[in-house]
């Protein structure tokens, strides 16, 4: 379980980008963070991951305050996997070497066992494991970045815009892979996304940020059906006969 309570955060001497955020994410669900550019989505994810320390409030994992725990300790002691938006694979390394980089802290026997499991789960990577990552398509590179995060068997997976730069077909494949990870492992997955419709299609719940605060939160299916949500944040009008479910509107 991740619990973010009244978190404020920013960079350097600048103003707060997050102005008091509350968020929860449980095992076995995908929680998506949505909102316009500059609203604080990636900053919130970096607070959870440990790249940014909150100026106020707390980040908890399984009941422990990890607000000031650095990234490497969250990876090793709290079993957190993080996939950044850019530079998420090493182009000059092989597929195998990219994946094994995520298991440097594991015993050799466990590392080899986890690698074999991943090759069975992702046959498209297995068939190219000796090729350099630069030879992969955009979607394959994103799957590779997921596999590298998964080799350490995390309990929590944090994804920063996993569909960035992908074609619609590749985007669908990546989101399907993320949903499969949840269904297969019962992992807690939190992701930041710009492609709201597609992300909500595989998510269980979502938070919409605006100006550093939670504007709307609710079940993904309710957010997709809500007229105000679609008009303000999804760029589309719902059918006239569509009913509006009840949502948790904050503020």
Residue range(s) defining the domain that contains residue 9: 2-87+154-249
Lowest mean pLDDT of 128-137, 160-169, 227-236, name the range: 227-236
Burial 55-80 (b: 16+ CB within 10 A, else e): eebebebeeeebbebeeeebbeebbb
Q: Which is it for the CA torsion 80, 81, 87, 89, positive or negative? A: positive
Residue 234 inside a domain? The answer is yes
Between vectors from CA 198 to CA 194 and to CA 202, what angle results, nearest 5°?
115
**Helix H or strand E segment including 77:** helix 71-77
Asked if residue 148 belongs to a domain, the reply is no
Among 90, 87, 39, 49, residue whose Cα is nearest residue 208: 39
pLDDT at site 103: 85
Using alpha carbons, select from 33, 30, 36 the residue that is nearest to residue 21.
33
Tell which residue, 184, 178, 7, has the closest CA to residue 81. Answer: 178
The whole-chain average pLDDT of the chain stands at 88
What confidence category does residue 157 fall into, taking pLDDT thresholds of 50, 70 and 90? Answer: very high
pLDDT above 70 (res 235)? no
Q: Is the pLDDT assigned to residue 240 strictly greater than 60?
A: no
8 A C-beta contact, residue 208 and residue 220? no
Structural domain contains residue 98? no
CA 60, distance to chain mean position in Å, is: 17
Does position 29 have pLDDT exceeding 50, yes or no?
Answer: yes
Residue 237 lies in a domain: yes
CA-nearest of 204, 191, 199, 233 to 216 is: 233
Token pair 């594991």 is found at 106
Q: pLDDT of 66-123, one tens digit each?
A: 999 988 889 888 999 999 887 788 999 999 999 998 888 788 899 999 999 999 999 9
Poorest-confidence range of 224-228, 230-234, 240-244? Answer: 240-244
Phi–psi pair at 14, nearest 5 degrees: -75, 175
Question: Distance between CA atoms of 140 and 76, rounded to whole angstroms?
Answer: 26
Mean pLDDT of 145-151: 93
Would residue 83 count as lying in a domain? Answer: yes
**pLDDT tens profile 201-217:** 999 999 999 889 999 89
Residues in contact with 116: Cβ distance below 8 Å, sequence separation at least 6, in sequence order = none
Residue 248: the pLDDT is 46
Give dist(CA 64, CA 59) in Å, integer.
Answer: 8
- In the chain, how many domains are there? 1
45: domain CATH number is 3.40.50.300
Percent of the chain surpassing pLDDT 90:
64
CB atoms under 10 Å from CB of 234, counted, come to: 17
Is residue 121 assigned to a domain? no
Q: What count of other Cβ atoms lies within 10 Å of the Cβ of residue 182?
A: 19
Flag whether 59 is in a domain.
Answer: yes
Residue 228 lies in a domain: yes
What is the structure's pLDDT at 233? Answer: 66
């Amino acid at each position: 379980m991740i619990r973010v309570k009244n978190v404020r955060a920013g960079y350097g001497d600048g103003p707060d980008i997050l102005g008091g955020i509350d968020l929860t994410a449980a095992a076995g669900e995908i929680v998506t963070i949505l909102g316009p550019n500059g609203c604080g989505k990636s900053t919130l994810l970096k607070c959870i991951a440990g790249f940014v320390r909150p100026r106020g409030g707390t980040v908890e994992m399984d009941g422990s305050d990890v607000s000031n725990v650095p990234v490497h300790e969250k990876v090793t002691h709290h079993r957190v996997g993080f996939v950044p938006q850019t530079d998420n694979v090493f182009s000059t390394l092989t597929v195998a070497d990219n994946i094994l980089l995520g298991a440097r802290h594991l015993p050799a026997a466990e590392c080899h066992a986890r690698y074999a499991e991943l090759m069975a789960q992702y046959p498209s990577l297995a068939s190219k494991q000796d090729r350099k990552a630069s030879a992969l398509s955009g979607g394959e590179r994103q799957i590779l970045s997921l596999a590298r995060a998964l080799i350490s068997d995390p309990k929590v997976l944090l994804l920063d815009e996993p569909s960035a730069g992908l074609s619609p077909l590749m985007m669908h494949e990546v989101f399907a892979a993320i949903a499969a990870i949840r269904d297969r492992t019962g992992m807690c997955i939190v992701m930041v996304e710009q492609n709201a419709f597609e992300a909500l299609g595989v998510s269980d719940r979502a938070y919409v940020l605006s100006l550093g605060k939670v504007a709307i939160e609710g079940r993904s299916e309710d957010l997709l059906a809500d007229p105000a949500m679609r008009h303000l944040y999804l760029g589309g009008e719902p059918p006239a006969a569509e009913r509006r479910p009840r949502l948790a509107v904050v503020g």
